[in-house]
Structure formats: structure tokens, C-alpha cells
Structure 1
Amino acid sequence: MSRIYRHPTQPTVELPPVDLLTLLFDSEHSLAQDDTILHQEAANPSNTVNKRQLRDLVERIAHGLRTNYGIGAQGPNKDVVTVISYGQMLVSAAFFGVIAAGGVYSAASPSSTVAEPARQVKIGNSRLLICGKEHQAVTTRAAEECGLPLSSVLLLESSPEWKLRSLEGGIDVVSSSRLSWQTITDRQALKDSLITILWSSGTTGLPKGVMLSHENLVAETYITALSGRQWAAKEIEKGNELPAVQYRTLGHLPISHIAGLFGYLLAPMYSGGSVVWMRKYNWEDMLKCLKQYEITAFYTVPSIFLRISKSPEVTDHFKHLVGASTGAAPMDGKLQMAANAKLGSGQDAMIGQTWGLSETTGAITMMPKGESDTTGSISPILPSVELRMVDDDFNDVESGQEGELLVRSPLVTNGYYNNPQATKDAFHDGWFCTGDIGSLRDGKFYIVDRKKELLKYKGLQVAPAEIENVLFTHPQIKEAAVVGVPAPDDPGTDWPRAYVVPVGPDAVSEDDVKAWVADRLAPYKQLRGGVMFVDGELPKNAIGKFLRRELRDRAKREMGIKAKL
């Protein structure tokens, strides 16, 4: 019998039988009022969008898309619209407008070259492209490569004017008429729908189009807010007054990633909060915005929390913060505590870890309101999520052992767009195979690393993330990533090699780094592949994950050079 882990008190919850737009704009569950400011431009704080204005924009864009381009005219779930932009307020109007018209919103990475959006357009049979001003050249060339006319490329602008207009033909997609979205209440239709395609990060291969439904996004929105609302209800029942805190977060992560899409377009609106939009992540601008806009809720990736923990520039920038969380990569307890010390008063264990993927619509674990952990765990399982840990033969592993995490939940994708083989490979007997290796210790779940990233040293598994977390604690190291290089005289054995960004020239030597690891990890986890120092910063993808694939390619080149010498 399978060993299945569930939420201890709420194994399942009944989801609202409603589509995403109706949940956010019209249901009793959504806390945003008509005059709630949902979006604000960091560079121009007088430029804001409230819920009433957003609804108007959504319905007018939906009409413009349907009338001018036939989006949704043949029914929902079919017409793909590819969107590529840095962070800006009206991405929310484009996102909801595409869905309201009956289309499918396909999110391309803002760090894309021409080949990437072109590939996504071809796979998705996309009929239309929307871009921000910085991506006009890339999008135009992608359209030309795919045989799309420039009248099918729309420029989205949030400032100084609000507009969505074709590059050729003078088509204004913000129509003077309106089209209301179709309310959906049939549970099977909600489950089978397709409203969003997110492209997997591609850190280990070509990106795949993750299909997300109304059910997926409604479930993520509803379930992740539950613990906070239940905590508030209990406080009120006790006669305690709730703190008067305005939910205000900072939009700095890419909106092509589930963390940005959910964290900026859905969660704040559902909770009656607002997003202050940075155009693009920049360290100095982020610090300025945190203080200027008194940010109260902050989600970011471990690489940014690492910099926060080590930077003397960070002083009182987080003094208004009441909640912080992280995900996208493992964060161990030491880094978690070091970053916590810079947040709020520095006394509270504020950072809660989440774990999830694009394929699980984001978080499927989360730290409940009023609880904390500083051991590096990924937090408890959310309601309506089932979890297993298995070996390579899909046998359940014992507590304390490492195994691949499998998930079953209404949060799990229906599969990959136009890729039935990848969809088939991703599931085993109805369970989604995450590719993440985890363990259960003392009742808490921990992520070890990606299955494909694990190294083998004389038959023993070595997790690069574990070595990286040790390197992060070195005071003279700003960033570090670990990859494997082949042992020259031992086929099948990997030697860990570290790529390190020091805090300054000559701040640390290779011997220092190796000694730091030797004092803290087992003999088979040592840096036998050497230490390579890097100026500036390590390669990362748009969400801030270290691109170990690029470092492996670099290591191969370095090994080749050595072999020739």
C-alpha cells in the first residue's frame, strides 16, 4: 500500500465551482473592493489601477481581441496569445482580457532571444503576440520568423498612456465596447479548461508548455489563502483585534513565471492588496522601493535572500514587513536564519518556505499563518494535496530516506501543450513526478535537489544544493554554484566543482573554500573538481535560479583545455 502524506486536519477542501475571473471580480471570496488600488507604478506612483478600472479594461480588451482577431470566436481553450513583457501594471489587464475573450494566455520569458518566443508561437499555434516596448524588436523578428503579420503584434503600454495597439494597421485593442466573460460553474469544464500556458524553466532541457486550467488557478488562489483567513477568524473569535496592515507587495520577479503571475496578478487581488510594479529587477531600485512604498508582504527567490543576508546596504528596508516567503530553489536553515535577521525587527522567524513547480500551479506547501520554522523545511502540505516519496522503481521510501516527490491534487497540470509524450512521461499511475528529491525528517519535509542534478561519487549520491548551502555561509562568498565534472580515472564518478563569486579580489583562496567545505561535510562531498572564481555574478535564469547547465558547459570547455595542455 502506498504511503500517502496529506494535510493533518484538512486533507481536502471543497473548491468554489467557478471560473478564475468570476472568483476574483465577482465572488464573496475576493476581498478587493471596486476602489481598491490593485496596481501602482513604482516609477510614477500617481499611475494606479483600481478594481473598477481593471474590470473595464478587461472587458474592453476582450471585445477588442474578439472583434479584431477572432480570439475565442470558435469557443474557449483554443486561441493562444503569446505575451512577453517586463513587469508593468497592464499585464494584469492583458492576462484577464485574453481569458475573458476565451483565449489562452501564453507567457514568454522577458529574457528570451528571438528563437524562444518563436518556438513557443509555433508549438502553441499562437495567432497573436503582445509585447512591452523593450521587447518590440524581439517580438517583431519572432513574428516574421513565424509568418505572422505585424498587425498581429500588439504593443502594451502602462505609462504614460494605457494602451494596447497593433504595430501596423492602427488597431486599438482597448475597444470602446465591452465583452463580459463567460461564467463557468460546471466542475468538469473548469477542470478540462485551458487558460494559461507557462513554459518550464528549461534548466535541464528545452522548455515545455505547462497547461493550467481554471480549476488549477482557482484552487491555488483559494487554498493558499485559507490558513491566513482561518487564523484571522480564530483571532476574532478570541476577541483579539487584528493588526491594521495593508497588503502591499513589490513586483520584481518575472511575470512569465508562476511566482510572478500568481504572486502579482492573483493573490494580492484576492486578498484586497496591491502590487507596486518595478519594470525589471534591480538591486538598488528594489531597496529603494521596499522603503519608499513600505512593503508588507515579500516573496523572492533564495539568491536574492542570500544577497539580503550578506549586504551591509540592507538596514531598515524591511521594517514594515509582516510576511515573507521563498521558493524556486532549496534554502537551508542557516541561510533562512541569516536572511530573517534582516527582516522586520530581526527577531521573528519571518521567512516561510514554499515548494512547488509550474506544473503544480506554484506552491503546494506553505507555512501556516502564526507558525514558523528555521530548519530549512519546505513547510506543511496544503489542503487537497497528496504527496508520496518513492525510489527509482516507484516503491515508497521510509521516513528519513530520500525519494522523488510525487503529487496528486487539483493543483496539478493536465499536462504539456502539444506534447503528449512528455505528458505521459510526467505521470505514473495518476501521480505527477516532480523530479525533486526530498526527505521527511522529524515530521518535516525537506528538498535535497533536482533528481537530474544529483552527482554520483563512487556510488554515493551528492546533492549540489547541499554543498552550495555550505558555501553560502562563508563570509567572503557572495554567490556559489556546484556542478559535477567527470573523474578522469573513474568512469561514472562525478567530482563536485564550485563556481564562486567572492566579495572582492583575493578575498578568499581555493584552499580556503575547500577547507570550509571539508570542515562541514562528509569526505565524499568534497570539492575534488576544484574551485573556479567568477567575476560579477553567476548565470541565472529569469526567476533567479543558478543555471548549472551553463556552468557544466563551461566546465567541459575548461576540462578540454586542460586535456590539450
Structure 2
Amino acid sequence: MNRHDVVGMVTSEKAPWELQEVEVTGASQKWFVNGPQSLRQLYEDNLSDEPFYAYEDECYTFHEIYRMAASLAQQLQSRYGVKHGDRVAIAMRNYPEWPIALEAITSIGAIAVAINAWWLPEEIDYAFKLTGVTVVIADQERIERISHIAPESTPDIIAVRAAPSDSTTPIETLTSSNDPMPSVGIHPDDNAVILFTSGSTGHPKGSVSTHRNILAALLSWEVDFVTQFIMENGEFDQEKIGSAAKSQSTALLAMPLFHVNGLHAVLLAAFRMQRKIISMYKWDAATAADIIDKEGISIFVGTPAMTGDLVEYAKRSHRNLESLRSTGGGGSARATSQVKDIGQSLKNAAPFTGWGMTETNSIGTGIYGADYLKNPKSSGMCSAVLEISTIDEQGSFLPPGDRGELVVRGTSVIHGYWNQPQANTESFVGEWFRTGDVAYINDGHLYVVDRIKQLIIRGGENIGCGEVEDALLDHPEVIEASVYGVPDDRLGETVAATLYINADAKKVAISDYLHSRLAKFKVPEYLKLCTKQLPRIASGKIDKRRLRQEHIGDLGLPFDSHQ
């Protein structure tokens, strides 16, 4: 059977992942009728004494996290007056208090606002004002930044792992009771979480996800897992599938929980799998490798930069991290050479990736194992609850194989941004969401060429940054690459790149190599080499904007802010 047939079987009538058409805001969408109908039900259906969330020398079971969440939820209602639909912010590192806060907020019908932990005071202030936050649950670092915000704009603060203060309330005083979770009715289409998009210019947008949006993503990943199992083993055996799922019982959390992949693909995906999560203080490949070996980590979800770091460290240290069963994630395209390196350097880890966005709740397409090794430039095939297509500049749909802007619609796609009607108008065409990605679809597989705003237009020729980066990363001396356009008086723009290289790499050799791989006009005119890891933004992606600014400054070129 092909993938389409297997997905049809897995989601058919009376199957565990049965899909039915339901009406959502006037549109017909596919919905898992046997799954949880709210995040609260997700938490409560999966309570157990199995270990759930570990951080350094602390470890909490599913029951323990929920008990503290119930106590906090009672206090949010009685002490802070939080009601259904109110916004409560979470601003902290990936401490155990993060899932406690999330469970408490979403279990009483309030909306969890995930604050980027790297933001400065003015950015935090903007998010508070945009969403109308009334309470923030924050750690010491974030409290110090919030202290620079005008008092009249500052919500009530619940302090996490922070110094005593008259202006805050320690969270441990609010989580110590055995009070039951307050009784609140929650509809699948109630808003649950606001995540902020990480645009390189202007203010971030608050992407609003309902309970249904998020749950559709979580159960779609399960469909993908079961489909892959059946295609590899040739049978739909529930006991064997359950055993395979149990083998992926520990996950390393290195991505921040304010990022959709960290929140959805790691934290929330853990409940039905009864998966233990080991949370890192911050990303470091050597530390991650030590944790993987010590804790027997079986699944790692990270950006390509993170998985690249891990593969490079495994190669240098001659460690195969044999407990890993699957390694990958999304966030940006993974170089062809890195896909092969995962299979070669990590003994038992099947590589996977996918395309998704904050606005699609992290799902979209996925590709796994042998199919990924066969099609390393592909982002995979479409999720069971979504549809994808491409459109031209006039908004007309394109045939398969033609490049255009990727659009998506379906159950996991948000209905809009919080209090930003202009952004909604620009982003939606009817039910279809405009992703801003340049892509084409061939034989059911999605191939993302680039972001529209990351196209370099050199003398009228369009150059995709991703294509040049992929070629650079295939060079044996190049570890990381970031490609961007810089101003050019004659051509408008020309190609430049910053590279993290092995110490003995030479510009001439890299340039000669590229000339054998790319058309001449695509080869970077300017290369900047360094022997340390490239800087990241909070989500773990390489900070392309910063690198471009620095390189333009080094070259003495006039700076423009179009990227």
C-alpha cells in the first residue's frame, strides 16, 4: 500500500484515529472524533505516576505536575480573578514551572501567552499591551526585565525561582494545596495559546491557537508515526505499534517552550505517549550528548542548526549516541549532507523533518527514515488534516511542479493573529493561509525553495538563499552557512555569505567548489569566514539579519533594511 492508502485506513471509521468532517467557523474541517476535545482533557486522560518532566536533579510525574497546576489554577481564579478567555503570560526558561503554568492556564479556559525569553523590556511590554495580559508567571531574569516597564503597564507577577520581593508572589505558595482543578467548560474552538512569530523586522504577531488547532497537530503526528510503522512492517498491529511508541519514551527538550516545536512536538506530544522529557538549561551539543547517553534519550527534536551541532560533535568525539531512535525537526531546510550524516554518525537514529509554521501549529508535511534519505531536499507529504497548494503572484493556483507561494488550509491552521486585523487581511485568502514560502509540489512531496523575503534579486535574476546554503554545507570544510543579499550599485543586490568553517578552510577553495555546483551568478561574491558557531535567535535558527548587517559594515557598503 502507498502512504495515501495507509493514512486512509488509519483514519477510517471506527479506527482509533477516525477522522470526520465537522463545521468550524463556517468551514468543513477534518477532526479526530476519538481524541481529546480540549487540552484539559488531554492532561486528565493521561494522568499517571510515570516520570514526565525532569530538570537537572528534579523529576516530576504526570500526576505531580497536574496537582500543582490544579492548585495554581484555583489561585489564578480566586486571588487574581482570571476568567475564561483572559490572558496569562508565561515568561521563563524551560523550568518545570512552565508545564505547570500551561496546564493551569489552559485548564480554566484562559489563554496562555508564551513570551519569548530573549526579549528585551520594550518587546515584552509590547506583547503585554497587545494581548492585554493581566498576570505573568516569570523567572528572575524576566522579572528583572519587566521591572524596566512602566508600573501602570506591568501585570501582576507570580515569581519562579526568583529572589523574594514585595512586588511578586512566589509560585510555590500557590502550588502547594491539594485543591481539585476548578470546574470550567471548554469548547474545542476556544482560544488556548498565543505564540509570537519571529519576524526579522517590525513588531511580532501574536498567533492565536485554539484547543482544536493544537490537538489536530498532536494527533496528526500520531497518524504519521502509525502510517510509517505500517509501511515499514506491513501490518496494522496495535500491540506492536504501542510497543514501538514506548521505545520512544524519552525526549530531550532543547528548544524553548515559547517556540511551537518545543511546546507542541516535545512537551504536548509527551502526554499520550507517556514520554519522559529531560529539559536542558540551554543548548550545548556536548552537554546534550552527555544527557543522551546518561538518560537513554530516544528522540531529539531540534532545528537543523541543533541537529547539525549534535552530528558534528558526535563525529568529533567518536560517539554514536546509540539510544537515539529518531532525530530531526523543522524550522528551516536541512542540508542534504546533514541528512546523510545523521544516518552515518548516529548509529540507530532515523532522520526526520517536516514543514510547518507557528500558524499551522507546527504541522504541515513530514518525511521520515528511508523516504527522507531518498528525498533529502523534500519536506515530505501533507498532514491528514491539511491541504497544501501553490499560487502565483495574482493568487491563481498553480499545477504540480510549478514554483509559487505555498498556501495551506485545514484544522490546525490558526484563524488569525491577536488584535492585528491588517495582518489577517494580508495573510488569508479565504480559508487559505499564505505562508510566504516559495515551493513546489511533485508526486505529493513538498519542496520548499525559500522564503519570499529571502530571495536575492541580482540583476533581475532570483536566487534562493536556501539553494546556495545547501551547496555550501555540502563542502567538507563548511559546518554552518548563512546566505543573504548585500547592496550592489550595478546589480541592485549580490550574493554574500558568512560561514562557520574548519580552521584550515580557504575562500578560494570554497569558491572553486561552488562554481562546480552552481551557476556563476549564484556563487557568493563575498565570503566571511569564522571558526566559531554562528549566532542564533531564540528559536535556535541562525541570526541571518545580524550576520548580514555585520558583513555589510565590514564591507563598507550602505546598509538597507529590506531583509
Residue number among 188, 191, 201 corresponding to 1:190 in the alignment: 188
1:359 aligns with 2:343: no
What is the match of residue 21 of structure 1?
A: 39
What letter is aligned with 1:313? R
Which amino acid counterpart does residue 406 of structure 1 have in structure 2? Answer: V
Once the two structures are superposed, the pairs formed by residues 352-431 of structure 1 within 5 Å of their partners are 352-367=352-367, 372-374=372-374, 375-431=376-432
C-alpha separation in 1, matches of 2:177 and 2:248:
34
Deviation at 1:306, TM superposition (A): 2.1
State the shift of 1:236 in Å: 6.0
Partner of 1:137: 144
**2:109 equivalent among 102, 107, 111:** 102
Cα distance, 1:409–1:111 mapped onto 2, change above 3 Å: same
Q: 1:295 aligns with which of 282, 294, 297?
A: 297
Contact 1:326 1:352 in 2 (8 A): yes
Q: Which runs of 5+ in 1 are unaligned?
A: none
| Counterpart position of 2:440 | 439
Deviations 1:190-225 (A, max 9, x none): 22x211110101234421110011111111112211
Give the share of equivalent positions with the same residue, in percent: 21
Partner-residue secondary structure (3-state), 1:517: helix
Does residue 154 of structure 2 align to residue 148 of structure 1? yes
Single out whichever of 211-220 and 473-482 deviates more from structure 2: 473-482
Residue in 1 aligned with 2:252? Answer: 250
Q: Distance in 2 between matches of 1:22 and 1:245?
A: 26
Unaligned runs of 5+ in 2: 12-18, 21-29
- Deviates most, 62-71 or 225-234: 225-234
Q: For the residues of structure 2 that align with 1:376 and 1:181, how far apart are their CA atoms? A: 48
TM-superposed deviation, 1:22: 3.7
RMSD: 2.9
In structure 2, do the counterparts of structure 1 residues 22 and 85 end up closer, same or farther at CA, with 3 Å as the change threshold? closer
Q: Which moved more, 1:55-64 or 1:13-22?
A: 13-22
2:179 aligned residue = 178
1:60-89 CA distance string (max 9 Å, x none): 1100111111111xxx22x21121111122
Instruction: Please name the residue that 1:463 is paired with.
Output: 464
**How many Å separate the matches in 2 of 1:314 and 1:182?**
53
Q: Where does residue 485 of structure 1 map in the other structure?
A: 486
| 1:125 alignment partner, one of 129, 132, 135 | 132
- Aligned residue for 2:363, secondary structure, equals strand
Match of 2:540 in 1: 544
**Maintained 8 Å contact 1:297/1:323:** yes
Are the counterparts in 1 of residues 486 and 552 from structure 2 also a CA contact under 8 Å? Answer: yes
2 CA distance for matches of 1:109 and 1:412? Answer: 21
The residue that corresponds to 1:168 in the other structure is 168
Does the Cα contact within 8 Å between 2:51 and 2:61 map onto a contact in 1? yes
Instruction: Go from structure 1 to structure 2 and tell me whether the alpha carbon gap of 1:180 and 1:240 turns closer, same or farther (over 3 Å shift).
Output: closer
Letter in 2 for 1:435: G
Q: 1:369 to 1:427 in 2, by over 3 A?
A: same
CA distance in 1, matches of 2:538, 2:225: 29
Please point out which of 329, 333, 344 is paired with 1:330. 333
Distance in 2, Cα, partners of 1:246 & 1:553? 42
For residues 221 and 267 of structure 1, the distance between their equivalents in structure 2, rounded to whole angstroms, comes to 6
| Partner Cα distance (1:283, 1:325) in 2 | 14
1:79-118 pair list within 5 angstroms: 79-118=86-125
Task: Read off the aligned partner of 2:417 and give its amino acid letter.
Answer: Y
Structure 1 residue 559: Cα displacement:
4.5
* 2: CA distance, partners of 1:231 / 1:557: 49
Compared CA separation, residues 401 and 314, structure 1 to 2 (3 A): farther
| Structure 1 residue 181 displacement after superposition | 4.9
Q: Does 1:315 pair with 2:333? A: no
The correspondence of residues 36-55 of structure 1 with structure 2, limited to 5 A, is: 36-41=50-55, 43-44=56-57, 47-55=58-66
**Counterpart Cα distance in 1 of 2:557 and 2:417:** 40
Q: What is the deviation of 1:462?
A: 0.6
Structure 1 residues 343-383: Cα deviation after superposition (integer angstroms, max 9, x where no partner): 234xx7x1111111100011221236885444221111110
**Structure 1, 225-234 or 278-287: larger mean CA deviation:** 225-234
Residue of 49, 54, 62 corresponding to 1:35: 49
What amino acid is aligned across from residue 26 of structure 1 in structure 2?
E
**Aligned equivalent of 1:279, options 278, 281, 296:** 281
Count of matched residue positions in the alignment of Structure 1 and Structure 2: 529
SS at match of 1:313: helix
Of structures 1 and 2, the one scoring higher in RCO (CA 8 A, sep 6+) is 1
Structure 2 CA distance for aligned equivalents of residues 6 and 302 of structure 1: 31
Q: CA separation of 1:87/1:317 partners in 2, compared to 1, >3 Å: closer, same or farther? A: farther
- Rounded Cα–Cα distance in structure 1 between residues aligned with 2:289 and 2:276: 18
